[in-house]
Structure 1
Amino acid sequence: MSTTDALIQHRRDIADLRQRIKNRRLQVVGLYGTPVLLVVSVAAGAVVKISFWLHSSVSSAITNIFGGALAFLVLATVVQFYAEFSVDTPWKDAKKSLRSLKLDLELAEERRILEARRLTPPAIERQSSYRERLPGEIARLRIESTHYRRLHLFMQWLLFIGSAGVSGVTAWYDPPQPAKGILIALGSGVSVVTAAVGYFKPRERAFNLQQTADSMEQHITALELGIAPYNNVDEAVNMEAFATIVEGLRAEQRMREQQLDQPQQGQREVI
């Protein structure tokens, strides 16, 4: 097996273990949570019956709904216990604890690190591989930038419509008592959207992501064309400079994201 195939296989094993941990966590929650929910439902039904219908009969609709829910919980409990404890279980990790799966994941990650140290390719090959991964990173940045740009536009339209609605309803009704509920709803909506825009800053996030993607794409083009700052005759020097600059751009992007996540006073202190 080649070096690349060995490292890829290690990554596949780790991804498989992570998915198995997620599946096992859901199985354990269902296995123990469904019987508890069944008991709680029966107890709640008894309390409700005693509190509200002690001397009268419950309507057939409520009885049918409650009985159907109990039947579903009983069936789900039986099915899960069968899947967990039967001989021909369909569950891959039946009777296996989450702790053991997490230990397997830690060991798999440790094996991948040790194999990566032993099979690490030369720096020029790693830098070339890094360059090939960047188009996917640029595409991700552009997708996130588009998402935040659309979110910003959507919020702005909500503000436009809400503000116009408040003014229109106020002008239409004088005094505004017949439409007081509409005015309250529109005013509250405008306040909430304004606060959300100021807190999440989708416009700034979209701008930062787009700027980083454009800068990375510019450096990729300069490297492919062999123009400054990647016009050195030694390709290894160019690749090292390229990786250093791109990692600096990604670090700046992360720093800008952290600044946007901080309160306004915290941003001033960081800046």
Structure 2
Amino acid sequence: MTSPISRNTTDELIQYRRDIADLQRRIRNRRMQVLGLYGTPILFILSLFSWIAAKNFLWLGNNMPGSVHGAFFLVAAVLAGASAFQFAIEFSSEFWDWGDEKTSVAKLRLDLELSEERRILEARRLTPSVVERQASYKERTPAEVDRLRKESRHYRRMHLWMQWLLFFSSASISGITAWYDPPQPGKGALIFLGFTITVITAATGYFKPRERAFNLQQTADTIEQHVTALDLGIAPYVQADAANLELFATTVENMRVEQRKREQQLDQPHQGQQEVV
């Protein structure tokens, strides 16, 4: 059963994370607000200059069509209204409250840095025991397994789509070549299909989705095997609970490091891979 002290510690650390996530959301929103606040008037001015430039360069000495006048006027009116609306929100809290008005992004980022520093200091003071951290690590492992399998499915689907597109493109080249004589209008299709085959072949060799999918699935299966062994208390987890958790955390971290090394190796050119090996 979880002790009250441990529960309070968890709640405090969770609250710090919530505060940091809230500040990150406020920073994103404030950036969008500032972008609209200063970007919309600039677009309004550019629309007026475009209106004048179109009249002087495209319809110099002639009457500009009414539809073009109407389009420019509509764009300018919308931008002017949006600018006035945003300035009213920014400088009149009674009109509308969108949060953090008159607050700079730099101040919010400073608050975020201070919150993260406060969380780190409090985490050091409220850090649970090693056994509790190892038990918490074990509870997070299924999410890591799901992530690895999701990425594995993503790369496997990518590889299958590339291969099927490669198959159809190769077969289409032979069919179009046999069907059209003279080559027009099949010449353009042949050029496009040849380009597609070249791009897919190069992308498959560079990104290596099949190898990535295999490595991710293998790591996920191995981690899941260790989770099952720990739950059942079978080898190699046949010691005391504390020793089993320590061995489990060490083993899983080593497997994650090996997985990252394999990903980095796949990112290297072929010659670099041979040197690494």
Equivalent in 106, 111, 116 of residue 109 of structure 1: 116
| Correspondence 1:125 to 2:132 | yes
| Correspondence 1:51 to 2:70 | no
Q: Distance in 2 between matches of 1:55 and 1:256?
A: 69
Identify the residue that residue 223 of structure 2 maps to in structure 1: 216
The verdict on how the C-alpha distance between 1:68 and 1:270 changes in structure 2, with shifts beyond 3 A counting, is: farther
Equivalent in 26, 49, 67 of residue 32 of structure 2: 26
| Correspondence 1:147 to 2:124 | no
Secondary structure at 1:66's aligned position in 2?
Answer: helix
The verdict on how the C-alpha distance between 1:75 and 1:247 changes in structure 2, with shifts beyond 3 A counting, is: same
The verdict on how the C-alpha distance between 1:99 and 1:140 changes in structure 2, with shifts beyond 3 A counting, is: same
Q: Distance in 2 between matches of 1:130 and 1:27?
A: 39
Q: Distance in 2 between matches of 1:201 and 1:12?
A: 38
Quote the offset at 1:175 in angstroms. Answer: 2.6
Identify the residue that residue 194 of structure 2 maps to in structure 1: 187
The verdict on how the C-alpha distance between 1:237 and 1:36 changes in structure 2, with shifts beyond 3 A counting, is: same
Quote the offset at 1:250 in angstroms. Answer: 1.0
Quote the offset at 1:111 in angstroms. Answer: 0.8
Identify the residue that residue 243 of structure 1 maps to in structure 2: 249
Q: Distance in 2 between matches of 1:43 and 1:262?
A: 50
Secondary structure at 1:121's aligned position in 2?
Answer: coil
Quote the offset at 1:261 in angstroms. Answer: 2.3
The verdict on how the C-alpha distance between 1:269 and 1:37 changes in structure 2, with shifts beyond 3 A counting, is: farther
The verdict on how the C-alpha distance between 1:24 and 1:183 changes in structure 2, with shifts beyond 3 A counting, is: same
Secondary structure at 1:31's aligned position in 2?
Answer: helix
- In the superposition, the TM-score normalised over structure 1's length comes to 0.95
Quote the offset at 1:162 in angstroms. Answer: 1.0
Q: Distance in 2 between matches of 1:46 and 1:263?
A: 54
Q: Distance in 2 between matches of 1:59 and 1:185?
A: 41
Identify the residue that residue 143 of structure 2 maps to in structure 1: 136
- Of all paired residues, the percent bearing the same amino acid is 61
* Residues 259-268 or 127-136, more deviating: 259-268
User: Which segments of structure 1 move beyond 4 Å, counting only runs of 4 or more?
Assistant: none
Identify the residue that residue 273 of structure 2 maps to in structure 1: 267
Which letter does structure 1 place at the counterpart of 2:52? A
Offset from partner CA, 1:68-118 (integer Å, 9 cap, x none): 222221122112111211123422111111111111011101111111111
Identify the residue that residue 17 of structure 1 maps to in structure 2: 23
Which letter does structure 2 place at the counterpart of 1:20? R
Q: Distance in 2 between matches of 1:261 and 1:55?
A: 61
Offset from partner CA, 1:211-265 (integer Å, 9 cap, x none): 1111110110111111111111x21111001000101111111122222223333
Q: Distance in 2 between matches of 1:93 and 1:266?
A: 50
